[in-house]
Every structure is written in structure tokens, then in C-alpha cells.
Structure 1
């Protein structure tokens, strides 16, 4: 474009060029009205020739501006002057993730921190119905103060259609079936096949980016763009634990779950990924990490530990029975809290000791959460679907199960979700869970999860960190 510094675009005065690419040039500029520095991206004049494309671009830019999330680039304004469309956004200080990766892989703790922020930004966009479709290291910015910013939401819709595949930037962004969009090397299999994208498409790209953050190698690559597409469709990347031995197996499993070929087999939401990454991060700083490092030794000691535990339980029961026989016993007081007839699957006391929360259904309806108090008879619906309530933390966080599936007999598993006791939308976290309970401080959760493929159960604390696994 060759725009001369000092040129004005409405109230904005362009200064120096700070970047350029296939989508145009980015300038530092000054907003005279608000007396602040901003970034302005000037788009190719050719885009102004297509009214539909320009309209879609403006709609996408407004949607990105409406997100208002700390991990998404803030868009301030859009406009056009002399047939040159432009976007005005916040001016960032730092470097792109691509620039950082040229220096080598990120330490695991830093990669997890960045990945959690990235997942939260994606989750915010997905909740608004916006799918990025072109997530890659070039579109992730790391600020000097450690924040992650997702760039260029929706700009892929403006890219010119190209007849031949290449490894360079973004492809066509139309929504018609059969049109390939995204960047080769980071696009999901359904994108490579020209199928419509949804949030799970971004989750695949997220997995490819996180893989590269941890290994400094692309998850999928080939000698030609066609070879790279073939790898995306048919091959799995090498295990992170082999390319970088410092990567924990739990983190490797998260990345692999993101990179499943079929969308329904991946994480179903970016918020789920953020939860699991947080659990891995907690495991790294938790004393329970040491358990994983001495797993073989723990297995040898398990019979002894069980024997000691059995003796302790017997001693405890004996003491309880003796104490019970000697104490002045008061008969239990039974108080009815509801007069409705239905099925209550589970109930727990809230931290105040006066509130009961239960999962129940009436008249063949859906299972929901209800609360009751001793001083106010009757159940009050909390507006949350729940097949079973598992535990309530000391901070009032409810762990519950949704979408129960019968395994055998009286054994059921479901999706673990969380909801504040005060109400709100459940946050789905882990599939195939049978039991769960909070730690005493309410900061983490121990779960029992079933591996349906192998027919075994694992005790995990936190989720993803197996402390014990059955043999069948």
C-alpha cells in the first residue's frame, strides 16, 4: 500500500508501520478525539469492490468489538476512506506467539498459562456464536505483561478465494459447503474437507497451537501443502512426551483430545479445556504430584497400606461402638421438608448446615436441582438440570452429574458439571464420572472415572492425575 505516515483516516493520524501481511498493513496511529494511541489495519482496496464481503467484514468486526474479553483484541472502530476499509483496535506491546516460538518451546507452566487464557478467549467468542476458523501462532499475541490476545476474528471471511493450495495465509472464507478455509497446518479435518466449521473446529486448531507451544514443532507438516492436508486427515502427531520429555502425560492427553479427527470425539467446549488445563497446573504445584513419581513403589506398598487401613477402620468402629453404648443417646429428629411425591436421587447439605440441595424430579419431568431449609418447608427449584448431586464445596460450588448412562446394574456414569449454589449455567467439565468429592479447602476435586474402552475405573486427584486404577 505504501501509505505515508501523517496521513489521516477520519480522526486518526497514521504514524509508523508496525506490521504487514496478506490482509494489509498495520500502522501505529493516534486518536485525536480520545488522545490515545491505537493500531489501524488497512485492508486491500480490492475488498471494497465486493459489497457482500465488505458487509460481512463489518458485521464480524462489530461482533468482535462486542465480545469485550481480556483475551480478545479490542476493536474500537471500523470504517473506509477512499475505498480503503480499515479496522481500529487497541495497540499492543509485546510479540506474536509465532515470534516467541522462533526462540524454542515454552516451559510447560508458561504454556499452560497462555493456553488457559487462549481457551477462555475462545470460549467467550463461541458463546457469542463466533468461530475464529483461523487460529494459529500468527493470530495469538503475547503482551509484555503476560496477557494473551486473540487477533483477527472473522477476517478469514475476507480472504480472496484461491484455486491452488498453498501453505501461506488464510484461505477463502465463504460459508458455502465445499469451500476450504483456514491455514494449512492448523485447520481441522472438517475444514480440509470443505465442511462447515463450528466451535470444535477452533478446538482442533487450539490443539495444534498448544502442541507447537510445547514442542516448537508443528503437529502436522509435509513436504507439500497436499502432504500436510493428508497428515491432518490421516495421521496423529508424535507424542509430546517423546518430542519433549518435560511435558507431563496429563497435558499430552489434553492436546491429543483436542486433535481428535472427529469433532464429536474432541472436547466439546473451550471452557472444558480451560478447566482441564487448570487441573494439570494445580497438579504441578500440588504435593500429590509426588505420587505419580513413585507409582511403582506405591503399587508394591498397596497391600500393606490396605492392611493397615483395615486395622485402623476396625479399631475406629470398635471405639465408636463402645462410645455409642456409653453415651446418653438422643433419638434422631425427623423433619419433612417437602410434601411433593417424586423421585429424589441424591441430596447434600450446603455449607451453612441449614440448607439442603437435592436432585429430584416430579411427575415424570426432568431431573433438576432443588433447595430446602429447615425453617421454610418446601423445595425451591434452582433452574439447573441435574441427574445427581455429588458434593458441595465450602465455597458453595456444586458438583453434579448430567446425562447419566447406565454401565451395569446400579452403576451409572455421567458428565461432571459445576454450578454456583446461588444459581447460574452449569459448566460441564469431565465425561464418564461416577463419583466426585471436594477437598477440604474446596479448591480441588477427587473423582472416580470409568474408561469404557478398557472397562476400568481410575481414582483421580485432581482430574487427569490418576492415583489408582482398577484392573477390570
Structure 2
């Protein structure tokens, strides 16, 4: 076994337990001899993208506050030194893909597990987070008396890769087999993309295969865009109605994750310590009637033209009959000529005017770092105290970023100020800057100078 590797002052990586396209997963501890955790270290190309890191940290701060029995808890986000890592609870189980491969699921267990995932999605959607990569590999399963207990993990990882994959590797964020049509078209993902992926996963669990099984990525994407799978015999009518709604090509035709939690029976299976259910949402939209289902017009009659809308099919009313032509008079002709002359004169004047400047579009809020002044003191040997003004009331406040000589630390509003570092080398200089991550369109101020001092326990606050 390799020697334990300190990841940050309070985390230690111990052994590699998995790896994939995004990075590596390590078993670690919160300090030597501390609680076991799972640490997912993302590939360096993702961690070096400043905008991607800012987006992920913004969502990560939300995820650390989510407490749900079917969501793997996120303990911390680590960023610094060209590294981005997610510290999560260590779940001793298997992922759903492995459980399916060994035939551990029947119909009843599959429906139970789908209810767990739907509840997890409802929780993160209510917090404003979109998973973007729902698939069996990202569902961890433990067994309680022979019954599956599912927990969703790896939320937000696809958000870090957004832009990286599309521009550098010419592919899409997410897994092709579970990719919603609007994502394939390059549209911004919403919570509906998670519902679509859950629909694909439900089809796979209940039918034993995916709805689209093409060999190439191009053919698979075309199927997501254009094909509507038929109901397989393994899926009963009630569950097929739910799955077909999840696989709707239009995002607004899909149910919410909260709807699915109820439809899969998840609301009755919640444990006593689970959070209360989310407010009820409108019922599932009914499928539009197909042309084959419409009644045929009587013989010799002309069928009315129909409009495809989000509601029921409606006939376009016939145009009113034209009135009989009137006897032409001379004065309307003269009036028309005068009107045309005036119109041409006014039009010429208008044409000669400079074109009006189009209204500038209102900029959308973006993630920005605002630097704020800091002072540092050493209240005790080996300890540095970083003081700065409370900026949590700033418009669009997300988090503080404290950058020191050795690491970067992210703090929520209730964690600062001040910030204290311990177990430092008393004979070395330690420098600090503090930035505020905000989501707004304000211009950031000039960067503040770092504040430096030794952790020697003396009162001096400046570096000579």
C-alpha cells in the first residue's frame, strides 16, 4: 500500500479505489486516524479552468447543505494548486451498473430504486442544482435486509466539464446513452435533462435493455433527437406511461422529479428521518393524439387543418365569406393616390434619418471574484488569524476564497470572518489574500495586496 498522502491540512488520501474519464477516487480520512471519506480528484484540465471552478464551487456550496437519505453527502470542496477535489461520504456498497450485471434486480426492486433516485433528484432540483449525468454508474446501492437502498452521487462533476468537453474534445457533457435531446442540440441544460436520463434508466431496469442501442455515438444522438421507442412487453401500461413522459423530446412535456417520486411509489417508502416531501406539482401532461387516433372525416368532407400545441388538438376556424363587390366610385381612387403620395414623402424622410441604435441587451449575471483587504496576526505560535470585513451581504454572494502560501480554502458566509490557520511553520512567512465569489454584473475592484507575516506568536503584522 502506498504511503498516506496529505491532501490538505485536514484530509489524507490513503488508497486509490476507482478511476474514470473525470479523475480518480481515493479512500481517505479527515486527518490521520479520522473518519473515512471518499475523495474524488478531478483531472487537471478541469481544475485549471477558472470559470468552470467558479461554477462548480457555487453549486458545491449548495450541495454541502443538502441532507437527504438518497443523496451521498458532500463534505467539502478543495481547490488550489491546479487541483480540484470533492470530499464525500464513503459509501460501502456497489454501483447500480455492477448490481445489474450480477442480476440483483427484479421488477419490484427496480421500481423501489427508481423511487430513491427520483427523490434524490427532487431534493437537488429544489436546491437549484442540475445533476447532468444521471446513469447507473452514479447510483450507489447498499442492501438492507435484501432491499436496495440507492444514493445519488457525482452531481456537479459534469458542470465542471461543461465547455471543456465541447470545445476541446468535440463531444457532449454527459453520457450519450442517457443524453437529453436538447443537450445534443447545444441548449442550456435544465432539471428536465435529469428526468430524461432517469427515464432511460427506468426503461433499462424494467426492460433489461436501453431504449436506444445504436453502435455509434452519431447514431445514438440521432435516435435521442428523432426516435420514439415503442413500449416493450416487459413494462406494464402504468409504468410505460411514466417512462414515455420522461422520454418526451420537448423538455416542458416531461414530469418533474417530484412527480416521479410519487409515481414510482417513493413517497410511501421514505424512512422516518427523511425530509418532508416537496410541494405537489401539476399532474403529468397527457400525450397528444396521433393522426391515426383522430376520427376520420365523413366521406366527401374536407378534414379541418389542425394545430399541434401543448394542449388538445383544435380546428382552425374557416375564414368568413367575402362580401359581394361594391360599385366602384371615383373619390376613393383619388383619395388613394393622395395617401400614396403622402406615404412616399414621409417614407423618404424617414429613410434619410440615421437608424436608431438597438437597445443594448442587459448583461447576465456571471461569476466574479471581488478582492477585499485583509490583515493578519499571529495570536499564538504556529497560528495565523486572517481578519477581513464581512461581505456576505454583497449582491449575489456565493462564498469566500482564502488563498494562502500553501492552499486555497472556500468558506461559506457562516464560516468567516475571521479565518484561522493552525499548525504552521513559525519560522516561515505566510501570505494571504481573500476574494469574494459573487454572481452579479458589477465590475470587480482592483486586487488587494497580500498580507504576510510569520506564525511566531508575536504582534508584528507586516513583513519588513
Say which SS state the counterpart of residue 65 (structure 2) adopts: helix
1:34 and 1:58 mapped to 2: Cα distance?
Answer: 28
User: Counterpart in 2 of 1:32?
Assistant: 31
Q: Deviations over 1:130-170 (max 9, x none)?
A: 1111111111111233321111111112223246988xxxx
Residue pair 1:141, 1:151 contacting (<8 A) in 2 also = yes
User: Counterpart in 2 of 1:253?
Assistant: 241
Q: CA deviation at 1:21?
A: 0.6
Residue pair 1:105, 1:216 contacting (<8 A) in 2 also = no
Say which SS state the counterpart of residue 141 (structure 1) adopts: strand
1:105 and 1:425 mapped to 2: Cα distance?
Answer: 30
Q: CA deviation at 1:182?
A: 2.1
Query: Cα–Cα, structure 1 residues 132 and 426, in superposed 2: closer, same or farther, change >3 Å?
Result: closer
Instruction: Give the structure-2-normalised TM-score.
Output: 0.55
1:35 and 1:164 mapped to 2: Cα distance?
Answer: 40
Instruction: Give the structure-1-normalised TM-score.
Output: 0.54
Q: Deviations over 1:408-453 (max 9, x none)?
A: xxxxxxxxxxxx9xxx974135358xxxxxxxxxxxxxxxx99988
Say which SS state the counterpart of residue 117 (structure 1) adopts: helix
User: Counterpart in 1 of 2:183?
Assistant: 191
Query: Cα–Cα, structure 1 residues 78 and 280, in superposed 2: closer, same or farther, change >3 Å?
Result: closer
User: Counterpart in 1 of 2:5?
Assistant: 7
Residue pair 1:43, 1:85 contacting (<8 A) in 2 also = yes
User: Counterpart in 1 of 2:281?
Assistant: 428
Query: Cα–Cα, structure 1 residues 199 and 82, in superposed 2: closer, same or farther, change >3 Å?
Result: closer
1:106 and 1:274 mapped to 2: Cα distance?
Answer: 19
From 226, 233, 236, the equivalent of 1:234 is: 226
User: Counterpart in 2 of 1:266?
Assistant: 254
Residue pair 2:203, 2:209 contacting (<8 A) in 1 also = yes
Say which SS state the counterpart of residue 178 (structure 2) adopts: coil
The runs of 4+ residues in structure 1 deviating greater than 4 Å are 162-166, 279-282, 449-455
Residue pair 2:119, 2:266 contacting (<8 A) in 1 also = no
- Matched pairs, number: 281
Instruction: Find out whether 1:138 has 2:137 as its counterpart.
Output: yes
Matching of residues 29-428 of structure 1 within 5 Å: 29-32=28-31, 35-80=34-79, 82-104=81-103, 106-145=105-144, 146-159=148-161, 160-162=164-166, 180-241=172-233, 244=234, 247-267=235-255, 269-278=256-265, 426-428=279-281
Residue pair 2:12, 2:32 contacting (<8 A) in 1 also = no
The structure with higher relative contact order (CA 8 Å, sep 6+) is 2
Query: Cα–Cα, structure 1 residues 12 and 36, in superposed 2: closer, same or farther, change >3 Å?
Result: same
2:168 and 2:155 mapped to 1: Cα distance?
Answer: 24
Ranges in structure 1 where 5+ consecutive residues have no aligned partner? 172-179, 283-419, 433-448, 456-472
Residue pair 1:73, 1:90 contacting (<8 A) in 2 also = yes
Residue pair 2:245, 2:284 contacting (<8 A) in 1 also = no
Residue pair 1:221, 1:231 contacting (<8 A) in 2 also = no
1:64 and 1:207 mapped to 2: Cα distance?
Answer: 24
More strand by percentage: 1
Say which SS state the counterpart of residue 16 (structure 1) adopts: strand
Q: CA deviation at 1:45?
A: 2.4
User: Counterpart in 2 of 1:299?
Assistant: none
